[in-house]
Structure 1
Amino acid sequence: MKNQYPKSFSHIGLTVPNIKEAVKFYSEVMGWYVIMEPSTIKKEAETAIGQMCIDVFGNEWETFEIAHLSTSDGIGVELFCFPHGVKEAPAFNPFNTGLFHFCIQDPNIEELVAKIVAAGGKQRMPIRSYYPNDKPYQMCYVEDPFGIVFEVYTHSYELTYSSGAYAK
C-alpha cells in the first residue's frame, strides 16, 4: 500500500464545566503552556471559526468558551465550556465504546499525583509498577477536579510496551 506511515497525534478536545478553572489546573498542575487564553465563540456563519463550529455542533448553540494549551511535546489540549451543557463528568464506564482515557507522562509520578489530588482531583488507584523487580516503569489512573479520567506513566508508551509489560 502506498503512503503507509504512522500518523502523529495533534490534539485532544475536553469539555469542562469552568474554562478558567480548567486552564488554571492544566497550566499550574500539569505545566501545560497556554497558547490561547479563554475566549468566546459565537454562532455566526460569517466567520471561519463560527462556520466550522456550526458544522460540528449543529445549530443548537449560541456561544461557548474555548482555550488552547500545549504539552511539552507539542500535543494540543483544546478546552471547551458550553453554557448549557451538563456540568458533571459522565459516569466512568470503560466497557462502552468511546474515549476511555488519555495518558500523560512524568518521571516523578508520586509528586504529580499528589499535586493532582491537592488541586481537587482524585487518585483512582495506587501507583503500580509494570516490572516491580526489574524496571522503574510506573502508572496510575487519576481524575482532574472535573471528573475527567486520565492516566500517568513514568516512561514513554513505546518504551513501556516494547519491553513486554505484561509478559515475563
Structure 2
Amino acid sequence: MDTNKDYPKSFSHIGLTVPNINEAVKFYSEVMGWYVIMEPATVKKEKETAIGQMCIDVFGEDWTEFEIAHLSTSDGIGIELFSFPHGVKKAPEFSPFNTGLFHYSVQDPNIEELIEKIVAYGGKQRMPIREYYPKEKPFKMCYVEDPFGIVFEIYTHSYELTYSSGAYSK
C-alpha cells in the first residue's frame, strides 16, 4: 500500500511546565474555558508501568515524581500541564530571538473580555490590542502572559483567515 507522506500533520497537544498544577488547572479551565480531561495526578519514577518507563526515557533519571494534568481546547487540542517539585518556579525569560518555543496562540472573537479575565486572574497584557486591517476587517491580535509568565497570543479570527489576505502586504 502506497501512502502519501506529503500531507499537513494535525496538532495534537502542547506541554507546559507550571509552578503549581492546581493554580494552572484553575486558570486554564476558568479563564480559557478548557475542559479538564484528567485531574491532577502524581507520576512517580518507576519502571513497572508504561508511564513510569516513558517518563524516565523522556526526563532521564534525575527526578523522583511530578504532577500532571490534561486539558482540552474546544477543538480538541490537548494541553498537558506538568509541575516538577524541584523545577524553577519563576517566570521563564522571554527570549523570542533564540531558537525554541516562542509562544502559542488561541482564538477568541471577544479579545477584550478574555484579556480582562487574564489580567484579573494575575496574567498580563503585553501590548495594546492591534488590528491587522484597520477600518477594513475586524481582525485583532494581542500578546499576553498567563499568571506563570508563559507568553501566548490571542487572535479574533482563524490563523488561515487572518493571513490568507496578506496581513503584511498592506
TM-score (norm. length: structure 1): 0.98
1:48-59 map, 5 Å: 48-59=50-61
1:136-151 map, 5 Å: 136-151=138-153
CA–CA separation in structure 2 for the residues paired with 1:155 and 1:15? 27
2:70 corresponds to = 68
TM-score (norm. length: structure 2): 0.97
Give the % identical residues. Answer: 82
What stretches of structure 2 of length at least 5 have no aligned partner?
none
RMSD (Å), alpha carbons: 0.9
CA–CA separation in structure 2 for the residues paired with 1:49 and 1:146? 26
Q: CA deviation at 1:89?
A: 1.7
1:1-168 map, 5 Å: 2-168=4-170
Write the deviation string for residues 73-132 of structure 1: whole angstroms up to 9, x where unpaired.
000000000000000122101000000000000000000000000000000000000001
Q: Where in structure 1 do 4 or more consecutive aligned residues deviate above 3 Å?
A: none
2:134 aligned counterpart, secondary structure: coil
Q: CA deviation at 1:167?
A: 1.1
* Paired amino acid for 1:37: E
CA–CA separation in structure 2 for the residues paired with 1:89 and 1:58? 23
1:79 aligned counterpart, secondary structure: strand
What stretches of structure 1 of length at least 5 have no aligned partner?
none
* Paired amino acid for 1:144: D
Number of positions where the alignment pairs a residue of Structure 1 with one of Structure 2: 168
Q: CA deviation at 1:2?
A: 4.0
Q: CA deviation at 1:163?
A: 1.0
Q: CA deviation at 1:133?
A: 1.6
Q: CA deviation at 1:61?
A: 0.2
CA–CA separation in structure 2 for the residues paired with 1:138 and 1:51? 44
Q: CA deviation at 1:64?
A: 0.1
CA–CA separation in structure 2 for the residues paired with 1:90 and 1:154? 26
CA–CA separation in structure 1 for the residues paired with 2:30 and 2:88? 25
